Amino acid sequence: MSNKTLAIIKPDAVGKNVIGEIVAKITSAGFKVNGLRLIKLSAEQAGMFYEIHKDRPFYGELIEYMTSGPVVPLALTKENAVADFRALIGATNPEEAEAGTIRKLYGDSIAANAIHGSDSDENAANEISFFFRSNELV
Ligand code: CMP
């Protein structure tokens, strides 16, 4: 089992000015931050990152949304990182997310759901290398 995951604070949450609150929830839950950036994705970058979803009906909306404002990718480490992080952020749809989870607290809709978390160790490794060079990670 890997101990790494990749998070992205999404445009809705950056726009609400709650980067600090979300990072505090992540670090309070025991995650170490190994890399952190503030960037605006191009359509090409977002398309590459979400290639796995390219045949889904919501793909166009997803790319448009993820390029609508800056995002904050974070490379994170913790024992059981992928599963623990998904528990911390809650269900994809904020309406279905448990009380106290990041998506329940800060998400507005299934698209504008405040934060992304890798869904497997393999995707975590790929997603971390998408945003960070290994020599940039602490
Ligand atoms: P994320 O964890 O970033 O991975 C894919 C994203 O697609 C997901 O979060 C949601 O924000 C988004 N998504 C999933 N289902 C839908 C949907 N039905 N409509 C719009 N966006 C969706």
pLDDT(51) > 80: yes
Structure tokens belonging to residue 137:
């990670």
pTM comes to 0.97
| CA distance to 66, 81, 102, per residue, from 52 (Å) | 15, 21, 24
Domain boundary assignment for the chain: 4-40+72-136
Q: Say if ligand 1 is within 6 A of residue 137 CB.
A: no
Instruction: Give the residue, by CA position, lying nearest to ligand 1 atom 17.
Output: 58
Residues 108-137: tens digit of each pLDDT: 999 999 999 999 999 999 999 999 999 999
CATH of 4-40+72-136, picked from 3.90.76.10, 3.30.70.141, 2.70.70.10, 3.40.50.720, is 3.30.70.141
Say what the pLDDT of residue 2 is.
78
Q: Say if ligand 1 is within 6 A of residue 62 CB.
A: yes
